Amino acid sequence: MSRWNEEINNQSQELIREIKRWHARVLLGADHAEQDPSIKHILVEGKNDKKFYDNPQMNNASGNLYICVDDVFCSLSNNKDALKQIITTIYFQTDSIVKSLYCIIDRDFDKEFPQTNNNRIMSNDTHDLETMILNTDISCIKSKISQENFIKACYMAYQIGIIKYGIKQLKCRIEYGSIRPNLGCFENEVLNINKLLSGMPKRVVFGDIEKIIKQYVKPNGQFKCSLQQFASHMPADFWWIANGHDLTYLIDNFKEPNCERIDSKYLIENYDFSKFKDTALYLKMKAVELLQKT
């Protein structure tokens, strides 16, 4: 067994033990940690994910327990790849807790999950939770931002997303998630990639990234597509490329004066959960009976 596989196997077993302890301590009492096969444990990446999926309006099946990874296994926090590997590792185990374990993760720049017959790992067809909300229920922010400013925020978020995607494709050692939107990197609404990457480690070479994104970028580092072009024909991959945290940050910056802050919490609290039925994830959750039959 390779060192990586051995480490993952150890993490898998520890995760099972932690969930059992958490289950016994918080929910059922120490004598009932492995009872009730109808209970399904659904691991999610963060607290906002738990708030969304555990919402009373979600029509969850009775017995669903949504677990933020932070609550039971801190070392896996924000470690999506390890979480995917762990669920895959324990897939064929017969332990009652393991058999009830599912995982909902952000798609990010990956293909949709499940990619194999392992239907315990699920994602949506957009980048993340925030883009899923905005893609299915734009009305939750419609009164807070003008259409013109919303399109501008989308355009700017898309440009940053393209750079992040390029970095991921190049397998740079830098974590693309560390790139945050900064209005100072834009000239009006057009991203200057040289400015965006000026604070990045020297090993991230603009010329290398340009090989991936050259169809989008001028030699001076500016984005080729204009705001007007973007507004008239939003790219088909927009909701997959744009990062929801970047987009909500930009929407919050361009919202109408005196409006409350727009962030993930705001989107969740103002979402019309009936729109969730329009998502790919809804069908996946229905297929494994995480949602009630209607």
Higher pLDDT, 213 or 40: 40
Q: Which residues contact 133 (CB under 8 A, 6 or more apart)?
A: 52, 140, 244, 267, 268, 271
Mean pLDDT, the chain, integer: 80
Q: What is the mean pLDDT of residues 113-139?
A: 92
Q: Is the dihedral of CA 182, 237, 104, 173 positive or negative?
A: negative
pLDDT band at 64 (very low <50, low <70, confident <90, very high): confident
Instruction: Let me know: does 250 contact 185? Beta carbons within 8 Å.
Output: no
Q: Does the pLDDT value for residue 274 go beyond 70?
A: yes
Percent of residues, the chain, with pLDDT higher than 70: 67
Query: Which pairing describes strands 186-187 and 121-122: parallel, antiparallel, or unpaired?
Result: unpaired
24-56: pLDDT as tens digits: 655 444 444 455 667 788 888 889 999 999 999
Measure the CA–CA gap between 104 and 158, rounded to whole angstroms.
24
Say which residue, 146 or 5, is predicted with more confidence. 146
Full DSSP string of 213-279 = HTTTB-TTSBBSS-HHHHHHS--TTHHHHS-HHHHHHHHHHHSPTTPPP-SHHHHHHT--GGGGGGS
Read off the pLDDT of residues 222-263 as tens digits, 9 standing for 90 and up.
677 789 989 999 989 999 999 999 999 999 999 999 999 999
pTM of the model: 0.84
Q: Is 217 exposed, middle or buried (0-12, 13-18, 19+ CB in 10 A)?
A: buried
Q: What is the DSSP letter of 45?
A: S
Q: Which residues of 117-131 are buried (b: 16+ CB within 10 A; e: fewer)?
A: eeebbbbbbbbbbbb
